[in-house]
Structure 1
Amino acid sequence: MFTIENYNDVSTPKKALFNWSSGKDSALALYKIVQNPDIEIECLVTSVNQEFQRVSMHGVRVDLLQAQAKSIGLPLKILQIPEMPTMEVYENVMTEALNELKDEGITHSVFGDIFLEDLRKYREDQLAKIGFQGVFPLWKIPTNQLIQEFITLGFKTIIVCVNERYLDKSFVGRIIDQNFINDLPDNVDVCGENGEFHTFTFDGPVFSEPIDFEVGEIVYRKYEKPKEQDSSNKACDTDTNDAFDFGFWYCDLIKKK
């Protein structure tokens, strides 16, 4: 029973935004964080390619993203990001959005990252500049364990993008199940944490109803390496010299009416 004597022991949940990618790691991280009484998720935040109106890297159409948010039951804030933005442009868009959310009392930012130390440090450093704290519900949980938990919980997700450095065209458009996991090469993380593949999650315990879609065409895209004079400040920079030697296979998904 709640009494005046234990009033001071009751903590107010911290208001947080959730960085929603539309994929499986986001879905599982959201499932876990909503069970944490110390965190209250106020909205989903997703960056979208301004030119193509698709989720950055995943290639998922905005109407499917909006359908996910509706089924989850949380407001969606879309950040319009230019294709191949400079780091300065990317950080300015993020900072402006976070400052607006900070004015609404939000102080924490939740991510689905699992084990990339450099990425976590970058996120935390950027958040600290504006007084936010990062939250990482999946951090350091073995990916083999995570993917089995994901499937057992009843989540369903489809591969919408693969990096041809790691996987060929045959993997895109597949549903993640035990057969998919068994078919992955040994050098590919089962959660695709190194960017080997990206997903769209369309059913599971965070949704009030499944997202209804049909599979469209499969397309190949190769990104142009930034010009040398511009490469030092590109948000897509990588330390891998041959990163731009490889392209990506995308599976288009079309929302059913």
Structure 2
Amino acid sequence: MKLAALISGGKDSIFALYTMKKQGHEITHLLTMMPEREDSYMFHHPNVHLTAMQAELMNIPQITGKTKGEKEKELKDLQNLISKVKGKVDGVVTGALYSNYQKERIDTIAKKLGLKSEAPLWNIDLVKYWELLLENKFEIIITAVAAEGLDEKWLGRKIDKNAVKELIEISKKNKINIAGEGGEFETFVLDCPLFSKKIEIVEARKDWKGNSGVYLIECARTVPKQESIYK
């Protein structure tokens, strides 16, 4: 099938795209919503502008849409964005894991537009999911945290096996979703097999308020994978 992938820059949307490509489907477009508020119900906010860099590294055209991030109204904005690929693709791909709120709404929009809705990660075992991400050499950092047990030290942290173990332990104590789908944290993909180069952070800052914070990437560049200095 020819598919358009909804991407936010985070691990779930990029890995869903990667999974569909591995299954032999063609990803012809990337679709990204640009929320104007940080607490959007549906869409990531931190560093979403850098999806343009990811799109370039995957050599896939990107179409963006703006939304004020207001509940339900943003769904109309999403429908307007997806409608731009109607007639060009057979369906849309999302990185939904367990969120019925997200999946049901995208399914409804896709059905209205006569498109299939593909969620290849739906109901995946979350521990196995992290194993797959690391095995497939996804380089992921935390870009926002908003849950008990996740402090400022997590902002900008690269996820490795030790970090996953810590997330599992925090989950046992504080009942968080270890994939962050409940808003506990957000991520950004710096490298994966789909990228021709990797993204290197040149300048970033942490913005911490109360019990939550974001890691804002203010300057980034692409570098050949073997030359990156990012550790």
TM-score by length of 1: 0.75
Match of 1:47 in 2: 33
Is contact 2:35-2:45 (8 Å) kept? Answer: no
- Is 1:181 paired with 2:164? yes
State the aligned residue count: 213
Partner residue of 2:213 out of 249, 252, 256: 249
Cα distance change of structure 1 residues 101 and 61 upon mapping to structure 2, 3 Å threshold: closer
Match of 1:97 in 2: 81
Q: Point out where structure 1 has 5 or more consecutive residues left out of the alignment.
A: 1-13, 222-245
Amino acid at match of 1:169: E
- Is 1:150 paired with 2:150? no
- Is 1:213 paired with 2:201? yes
CA distance in 2, matches of 1:120, 1:181: 25
Determine helix, strand or coil for the equivalent of 1:249. strand
Is contact 1:115-1:139 (8 Å) kept? Answer: yes
Match of 2:181 in 1: 193
Shift of 1:182: 2.0
Shift of 1:175: 0.6
CA distance in 2, matches of 1:17, 1:254: 28
Match of 2:96 in 1: 113
Identity %: 24
Is contact 2:75-2:105 (8 Å) kept? Answer: no
CA distance in 2, matches of 1:144, 1:116: 17
Amino acid at match of 1:87: E
Cα distance change of structure 1 residues 18 and 193 upon mapping to structure 2, 3 Å threshold: same
Bigger Rg, which one = 1
Match of 2:13 in 1: 26
Cα distance change of structure 1 residues 61 and 91 upon mapping to structure 2, 3 Å threshold: closer
CA distance in 2, matches of 1:28, 1:140: 14
CA distance in 2, matches of 1:61, 1:191: 18
CA distance in 2, matches of 1:79, 1:166: 34
| Superposed structure 1 runs of 4+ greater than 6 Å apart | none
Shift of 1:250: 0.2
Is contact 1:164-1:249 (8 Å) kept? Answer: no
Match of 2:155 in 1: 172
Between 1 and 2, higher relative CO (CA 8 Å, sep ≥ 6) is seen in 1
Amino acid at match of 1:199: T
TM-score by length of 2: 0.83
Match of 2:226 in 1: none
User: What is the root-mean-square deviation in Å for CA atoms of aligned residues?
Assistant: 2.2
- Is 1:70 paired with 2:33? no
Shift of 1:86: 4.5
Is contact 1:58-1:198 (8 Å) kept? Answer: no
Shift of 1:51: 7.2
CA distance in 2, matches of 1:189, 1:143: 9
- 1:167-202 per-residue CA deviation (whole Å, 9 max, x = no partner) reads 222212111111211222022222112221110101
